[in-house]
Amino acid sequence: MTTSGIRQVKPKAEGWQQRKDESGRPLLQFASPKRGKPPVHLADLTPDERIAKAKELGLPGFRAKQLAKHYFDHYTRDPEKMTDLPKDGREELVAGMLPNLLTEVRRLQTDGGDTIKFLWRLHDGALVESVLMRYPGRITLCVSSQAGCGMNCPFCATGQNGLTRNMSAAEIVDQVVRANEIIAAGELGGKRDDDNSAERVSNIVFMGMGEPLANYKRVMQAVRTMVDKKQGLGMSARGITISTVGLAPAIRKLTDEDLPVTFALSLHAPDDELRDEMIPVNSRWKVDEVLDAARGYYERTGRRVSIEYALIKDMNDHPWRAELLADKLLERGHGWVHVNPIPLNPTPGSVWDASPIAAQREFVRRLNDRGIPTTIRDTRGKEIDGACGQLVVTEEDERLSAV
């Protein structure tokens, strides 16, 4: 289809039936389906609650602190190694407070060992993934916040299977601890001789499976544990990026948290007409409302907002859309935002494709010319099914085909 000579492809669900609600709109799942809850873990609890739990297990409260140190500082879950804890009751304490949450199912490496993608099985068989990436001077982990996702975006592998359930705070944190354990064991390659940065995860992006703001309470508990300097991972809030497809009320709530995390909005289209189809949640909260909420985040925290924009050939990569995006951002002021276009990483067999290089460059040029800092984001892990959810789909396909 052409409009004034410009090809315009409409989003459509391909090869699968997009779930619809009674009114025929794409189904949005906000509530987590009822499933058995994961076992309660130390990282689900506040420091006070940990003390109470240790007492419940018949031990003095300070044992909880010792246990937290083993887990957060040394990534230890093995009672044998916790020799500062009395042998009597040690096993019970560890079993009661550090139950196993993630079982590694598969590990794929690429970029010369600099990138590792993990597939984890949760206690109830649900599958999630995380991606560990070494860059010069930093190590980034992309974490999942939900098993599956209820936002039903038609271009996304995770969205195609709906929401399995929310992850617990500890299941989110444990992805980081497990990654740290693997780094400490020297299993993440690619460290350069002149790189003196700490050998642990320094940056976290909530861009794995799930919509983090749809699992707000647990994601916030996880973030608090990540930044807790005394009884958590002691990370910098600035190194943590929370991304959303635009749940405006939750963005406003996040603004009120007073946590200077980095905030990223996955916009993907500047016009409601296209965005309604690409990101079904746009039917609830429109582009302008979401951009206003993002601008509010900047005003309160002083943290520059990232706009994520997956560039899809002939769908959203038109020069006029770059101009419209620039108009909408500049309407809300200068210097508050930067744009990260990401060439789409197509799902296997997809009819959608990444924008050609020339279209990418033109898109970026137009935004930069309007004074909006814009840089194409690196697409690490492309050859190992880099887009969120693809590894899980492959695993499930294999499991189903083996039945």
- Summarize the annotated binding site for S-adenosyl-L-methionine as residue ranges: 210-211, 243, 266-268, 345
**155/363 with CB nearer ligand SF4:** 155
Out of 142, 277, 308, 388, the active site residue is 388
Sign of CA dihedral 229, 232, 238, 239: positive
* In the complex, least distance from residue 158 CB atom to ligand SF4, rounded to whole angstroms: 4
Q: CA-CA distances (angstroms) from residue 217 to 32, 41, 44, 116?
A: 13, 16, 11, 28
**159/343 with CB nearer ligand SF4:** 159
Out of 49, 92, 129, 171, the active site residue is 129
Name the 3-class secondary structure at 331: coil
* In the complex, least distance from residue 153 CB atom to ligand SF4, rounded to whole angstroms: 3
Place of tokens 């779930």: 19
C-alpha dihedral, 231 to 233 to 239 to 241, nearest 10°? -90
Q: Nearest residue to ligand SF4, using CB?
A: 159
Contacts with ligand SF4 by CB under 6 A lie at 149, 151-153, 156, 158-159, 209-211, 245, 388
Residue 396, CB half-sphere, CA atoms under 13 Å: how many? 16
388 is known as an active-site residue: yes
Binding-site residue ranges: 149, 153, 156, 210-211, 243, 266-268, 345
104 is known as an active-site residue: no
Q: How far apart are CA 340 and CA 241, in angstroms?
A: 13
Nearest residue to 48 (alpha-carbon basis) of 36, 37, 64: 64
Place of tokens 């995860």: 201
* In the complex, least distance from residue 368 CB atom to ligand SF4, rounded to whole angstroms: 26
255: Cβ contacts below 8 Å, ≥ 6 apart = 293, 296, 297, 300, 301
**159/346 with CB nearer ligand SF4:** 159
Nearest residue to 395 (alpha-carbon basis) of 127, 176, 184: 127
**158/180 with CB nearer ligand SF4:** 158
* In the complex, least distance from residue 170 CB atom to ligand SF4, rounded to whole angstroms: 21
Active site amino acids: 129, 388
